[in-house]
Amino acid sequence: MTAGAPRPRARLRVLAVDDVLPALEELARLLGDAPDVAEVVTAQEPIGALKSIQAGRFDAVFLDISMPGLDGLELGSLLARLSEPPAIVFVTAHERHAVAAYRIGAVDYLLKPVRAEHLAAALDKVVRMAGPPPAAGAPRVPPPAPVPPDTMPVLPVENAGRTRYVRRSEVLFAEANGDYVRLHTRSGVHLLRMPLSRLEEYWSEAGFSRVHRGYLVSLDAVRELHSDTAGGLLAHTDIGDVPVSRRHARELREQLMAAARRGELGGGRP
């Protein structure tokens, strides 16, 4: 590079996340047209975004805030804890979350509909954070594998206009209730708008097992297995019995044995 010549700018790999498909497609189009962007990956739900992030490193994540299950602020908080976190830019229709967004460490906060000049300014901030690309001929050092984020250790539950945060460790089992899930804890039952299958995706790596089409149970909460009067299998917890279907019975027994061998039963989970 000759003296006085401008330093080359890094070209970015970005992830766009929005549960509204037309909004996601428009954001991806704007990002794809930006000269600073080399690649755009999209996700229409938080769990898809987490899987993409676990599969490869991103320079920036452009996040909607209002999404079901895990909202953008909660997802942003998880990303900020990674060993090499991406730059976070929130893209939302509401101004009221700006303070919380910057508290997480967001580099920018864009209001919908996104204007091209505002997007360019946000990308400029990300580029400056990323630094210049490696010099020509320099050996490429692969980035370390990302640390998988802990998905949804706390769930926000709405009740009568108030939000309560229920820790995963409080939940002994979860029960399907239409489009909702009933979270059973020692302090009571909490209703969460989320299908049980989605909660299973989030918590299957955190010691929760699907034991019935309508139930998810914490392995740590199971005190014993016993039969009901009709010969069906029940997983006994401190706050009640959970039915175990025939197709899940063997897998549950194996999971309990494996957890016991690792010393993970009875100690509580984070």
The whole-angstrom separation of Cα 101 and Cα 106 is 6
Could you tell me if residue 270 is inside a domain?
no
**pLDDT recorded at residue 21:** 94
**Contact indicator for 216, 208 with CB cutoff of 8 Å:** yes
Structural domain total, the chain = 2
21-67 pLDDT, tens digit per residue, is 999 999 999 999 999 999 999 999 888 888 888 888 899 999 998 88
Contacts of 105 (CB under 8 A, 6+ apart): 76, 80, 85, 88
- Quickly tell me which residue has 């498909």 as its tokens: 21
**Contact indicator for 253, 240 with CB cutoff of 8 Å:** no
In this structure, the answer to whether residues 163 and 124 fall within a common structural domain is no
**Contact indicator for 14, 61 with CB cutoff of 8 Å:** yes
Here the tokens at position 188 are 């009571």
Domain CATH for 58: 3.40.50.2300
In this structure, the answer to whether residues 32 and 67 fall within a common structural domain is yes
In this structure, the answer to whether residues 119 and 25 fall within a common structural domain is yes
In this structure, the answer to whether residues 18 and 104 fall within a common structural domain is yes
The whole-angstrom separation of Cα 67 and Cα 19 is 6
Query: What does pTM read for this prediction?
Result: 0.54
Give the domain extent around 57: 12-130
**Contact indicator for 202, 191 with CB cutoff of 8 Å:** no
Could you tell me if residue 3 is inside a domain?
no
In this structure, the answer to whether residues 86 and 163 fall within a common structural domain is no
